[in-house]
């Protein structure tokens, strides 16, 4: 008799719905914890290795805008700064252990995969 009276009061207030929400939330919280632990503890070794492709000589190089050269004879090295038109790679810097102009042109040509004539046209010399 006492129980039915409480149920009538709870129903009139609509509390039986609101009292079930924390129980339902607790059930989802505990259930999602078990699912998350089982997923995170599972060992996932990929059977397909990741393939990384690098820039090869067959692909076209990025468009070179300018080549600025700074020759430091007393240190026996040359610093080269290359500006490109690529959005991902705007500037490259190199140091070559040569100070002779012909050897430097050959090294830049080899590194950038450009003809020596193009390298000569783009080269500018900076002061120390």
Q: Which pLDDT tens digit goes with each residue over 51-97?
A: 555 554 445 557 888 999 999 988 999 999 999 888 888 899 999 99
Nearest to 82 by CA among 56, 107, 51: 107
CA distance 35 to 46: 21
**Single pTM value for the model:** 0.52
Q: What are the residue ranges spanned by the domains of the chain?
A: 2-41, 64-125
Contact call for residues 82 and 67 (beta carbons, < 8 A): yes
Q: List pLDDT tens digits, range 15-56.
A: 667 778 888 999 999 999 999 988 888 776 656 555 555 554
Please tell me whether residue 56 adopts helix, strand or coil conformation. coil
Alpha helices in 42-100 (DSSP H): none
């Amino acid at each position: 008799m006492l129980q039915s009276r409480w149920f009538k009061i709870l129903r009139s207030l609509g509390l039986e719905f609101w009292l079930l929400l924390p129980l339902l939330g607790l059930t989802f919280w505990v259930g999602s914890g078990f699912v998350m632990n089982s997923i995170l503890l599972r060992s996932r070794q990929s059977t397909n290795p990741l393939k990384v492709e690098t820039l090869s000589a067959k692909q076209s190089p990025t468009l070179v805008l300018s080549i600025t050269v700074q020759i430091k004879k007393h240190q026996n090295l040359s610093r080269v700064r290359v500006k490109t038109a690529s959005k991902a790679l705007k500037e490259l810097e190199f140091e070559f252990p040569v100070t002779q102009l012909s050897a430097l042109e050959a090294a830049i040509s080899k590194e950038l995969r450009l003809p020596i004539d193009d390298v000569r046209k783009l080269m500018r010399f900076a002061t120390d």
